[in-house]
A and B are shown apart, each in its own frame.
Chain A
Amino acid sequence: MEKRLNGKRLSKASRSGFINYGIVIAAFALIQILLVVQKLLGVTLVSNSLQSLLVPTCCYIVMAVSLNLTVGILGELSLGHAGFMSLGAFSGIVASFLLADVIPFAPLRLALSMIVGAAFGAVGGVIVGVPVLRLQGDYLAIVTLAFGQIIKNIIMVLYVGVDEKGFHIAASSERFNLAEDGTAIIKGPMGAVGVTKLASFTAGFVLILITLVVVQNLVNSRSGRAIMALRDNRIAAESVGINTTKYKLMAFVTSAALAGAAGALFGLNYSSTVASKFDFNASILVLVFVVLGGLGSIRGSIIAAALLYVLPELLRQFGDIADYRMLVYAIVLILVMLATNNDQLKALVGRIIPKRKGAASHG
């Protein structure tokens, strides 16, 4: 009986994973077809403003899925996810600049920059994770918040540039002794300027697929089950021999690396990027995607991130509603939390939308 149930659940998990790939591929194919038809017929199916949102939406989907790994699967609240995105964005921009002469082929340069971004994100994840994961609950949340602020603060005073003598890096404009003919890549509070835009929708699509492969395989592996066991009951998990630090760090660093890659793609999508873009509010935005999509649900994160990122940007076009978009956001966030966590409200919702038998007995 036990064995059969177990087998059923696993197959369900992998089936759900394939559905996720399917959704992403179908969405990508649909948009590509629309774009081709638009070019052939000369009609507007996907407006310019919507097209400009494609790459950032991909980035935020990756951000949401990776944050879901920390918050939903590992069960530790992180309020500094944008910090890793920031690390990835600026390291990716610098990498793409330095590689410009060596590798003329843009997609390869983009891929390498994203790998550099992911590496920096991962290093950031280790630096943050090793001390922080000793703490628990709200303390961990506040320290990730602090790290996010520190990363933002440091990048805002960072100057990076290249000239004949080589690579220059300094923490203030006075100490930044770049030669006259040199090029500054990151200019402190002004951020990175004059970035060659390498990002493309296809790259974003590939990044989402890679993210899904990494996260879904991790979740459905032995390590993933250990991570979820830690989430559900840390003491019980420890007592059956699960190495807390190792698995927590595994989830946290994977999440940070993916955020770094998403950051690199995001940074290379604009000609200029400032560090204040990746502040506390950006971290919260991604957290909202994860929570509204459903903690622990990868598909929920994808859909919530795509819809919620595009929707407010579209609302921006209609003058009056634009002012209220964040207000609506806040109210929806509170209502969703109340509806899913209050027993009376849950019972009410349950009466309106009857749950399937399996789900009900599980909960």
Chain B
Amino acid sequence: MSFLNNVITGISLGSIYAIIALGYTMVYGIAKMLNFAHGDVIMVGAYVCFFAMGSFNLPPVVGVLLAVVVCTVLGMVIERLAYKPLRAAPSLAVLITAIGVSYLLQNSAQILWGAATKTFRPIVEGSLTLVPGQLSVSYVAILSVVCCVVVMVGLTLFTGQTKMGKAMRACSEDKGAAQLMGIDVNATISMTFAIGSALAALAGVLMCSAYPVLSPTTGSMPGIRAFTAAVFGGIGSVPGALLGGILLGVIETFGKAYISTDLSDAVVFAVLIIVLLVRPAGLMGKYVPEKV
């Protein structure tokens, strides 16, 4: 039973990682940059929902929607102010700017909302009992998995069927050619950031509902782990993010349960390194040979 419990915890945690990883993967696929500030957008989303529900007594649905809207705008503003001017800059410069943005968000949150941790009230409470006294699944876990599946299906349809989605794929393939075909590259990149940040807000609320501690640094470790998940599954690939996220969640939960609570991070990162050494493009990533 404890094994089944771990599997369920792992999959629900993995679903949250997968939603975050999608943001990383989409942005990397198009802008070819690591958006280190993504983890902190998660934190902002969780704070917005926390205050909407706690201070203004809004219903959870409104809180989540508000978080999504705020983060979408935040994501687009960050892209416009910090990343767009660096479109032509070397990737190191962009990466360091992203780290700067991450610091900025964390420290702004600390000044605005204080460094003390807050207890997040889950958006849904209670749990579903499968085997009385032994096996139960919290509604938050079910909601996480459902959200993850809905987001995956939605995104697959979006990138496959809609005009904007096709434009995104075209941009990630070849920006110059896409521009010549009449695609507005800047608007497409901005849209990608908007979608990624909206997903981050959703993930932030789900994560804080499952693990109800909220502080300005809440987003950084899950952000790093979700990035690991994205790399694990093959960065740039949407199904890869799902696979990587779920696997990472399961590995982390099993590492905690069977190896050592303190070493779960080490286990996760060791797996990442091994995967990258065997398959440098990740599990489902495309390996692009270098042309000279």
Q: Which residues of A contact B (CB under 8 A)?
A: 71, 75, 77, 131-132, 134-135, 137-139, 141-143, 145-147, 149-150, 153-154, 156-157, 171-172, 189, 235, 280, 284, 287, 291, 295, 323-324, 326-327, 329-331, 333-334, 337-338, 340-345
Contact = CB atoms under 8 A, between A and B. Distances in A.
B269 A149 contact: yes
A344 B266 CA distance: 44
Given A139-B276, A329-B103, A333-B103, A157 B262 contact: yes
- 6 tightest A-B contacts by CB? A146-B269, A330-B103, A333-B100, A341-B89, A330-B104, A334-B100
A324 B108 CA distance: 9
Interface residues of B, number: 43
Given A153-B266, A287-B96, A331-B104, A280 B224 contact: yes
B289 interface: no
Interface in B247-272: 260, 262-263, 265-266, 269-270, 272
B292 A147 contact: no
B262 A145 contact: no
Contact of A138 (B91, B110, B277): B91
Given A139-B276, A334-B97, A71 B265 contact: no
Contact of A150 (B82, B92, B99, B270): B270
B265 A341 contact: no
Q: Which of A138, A143, A156, A171 has the most CB of B within 10 A?
A: A138
Nearest to A189: B262
A25 to B, nearest CB: 31
Contacts of B86: 337-338, 341-342
A343 B88 CA distance: 9
B228 A142 contact: yes
A333 B228 contact: no
Contact of B92 (A71, A147, A154, A172): A71
A327 B82 contact: no
Contact of B108 (A139, A327, A329, A343): A327
A189 B260 CA distance: 14
Contacts of B97: 333-334, 337-338
Given A139-B280, A341-B85, A341-B93, 4 more contacts: A280-B224, A327-B107, A330-B101, A334-B97
Contacts of A156: 262
A99 to B, nearest CB: 29
Contact of B82 (A71, A284, A334): A334
22 contacts: A132-B273, A135-B280, A137-B91, A139-B231, A139-B276, A142-B228, A143-B273, A143-B276, A146-B269, A147-B273, A153-B262, A156-B262, A157-B263, A280-B220, A323-B110, A327-B108, A327-B111, A330-B100, A331-B100, A337-B100, A338-B86, A341-B93
A345 B97 CA distance: 15
Interface in B107-121: 107-108, 110-111
Contacts of A149: 224, 265-266, 269
Contact of A77 (B95, B228, B266): B95
Given A157-B260, A343-B88, A333 B108 contact: no
A331 B228 CA distance: 27
Q: Which of B34, B92, B95, B266 has the most CB of A within 10 A?
A: B92
A150 B292 contact: no
A146 B272 contact: yes
Given A334-B101, A341-B89, A138 B95 contact: yes
A352 B228 CA distance: 43
B269 A147 contact: yes
B50 interface: no
A334 B262 CA distance: 34
A317 to B, nearest CB: 19
A153 B85 contact: no
A238 B239 CA distance: 36
A330 B98 CA distance: 10
B186 to A, nearest CB: 15
Contacts of B277: 131, 134
B17 interface: no
